[in-house]
Amino acid sequence: MFNCLETMCDVIFDLTILAQRPIKWKIQMAEEEQEEVYVIEKIVDKKLTKEGKVKYFLKWKDYPESDNTWEMAEDLDCDDLIRAFEENWAVEQEAKKKAGEPTESLETGVSDEERKSYI
């Protein structure tokens, strides 16, 4: 296959180096691609934007309530949390109707003053 031992050693050595380089590169890429992950503890409220899109007011896990934020529904990946929030919200609205209390169009749980401070 090879004409001399020296050439074979060079090839083996070179292949060893080449084999290590992609591994190091993959590790560096993995470190560069890492993003901080934020976990939603619960959905506190919702509202419609002027364009008719839904935004949710989120409580982030391990963060104080002062760090709660409004996020577009389309940017979230928490279908189970959204479904649970929507079901609970619908039940609350139905209970208010039966009790003769005014219902809310889209907002729940957050006072008007607090809501305005986050918009």
- pLDDT per position as a tens digit, 44-58: 999 999 999 999 999
Question: According to the model, what pLDDT value does residue 28 have?
Answer: 57
C-alpha angle 61-63-67 in degrees, rounded to nearest 5: 115
Q: Are 69 and 75 in contact (CB under 8 A)?
A: no
Q: What is the overall mean pLDDT for the chain?
A: 74
**pTM for the complete prediction?**
0.56
Q: Please name which of 72, 69, 67 lies closest in space to residue 49, comparing C-alpha atoms.
A: 72
Lowest mean pLDDT: which of 7-16, 53-62, 75-84, 102-111? Answer: 7-16
Query: Residue 91: what are its φ and ψ, rounded to 5°?
Result: -65, -45
Question: According to the model, what pLDDT value does residue 119 have?
Answer: 44
- Pairing, β 54-60 against β 40-48: antiparallel
Average pLDDT of 39-43? 94
Domains, the chain, in order of start with CATH, read 40-97 (2.40.50.40)
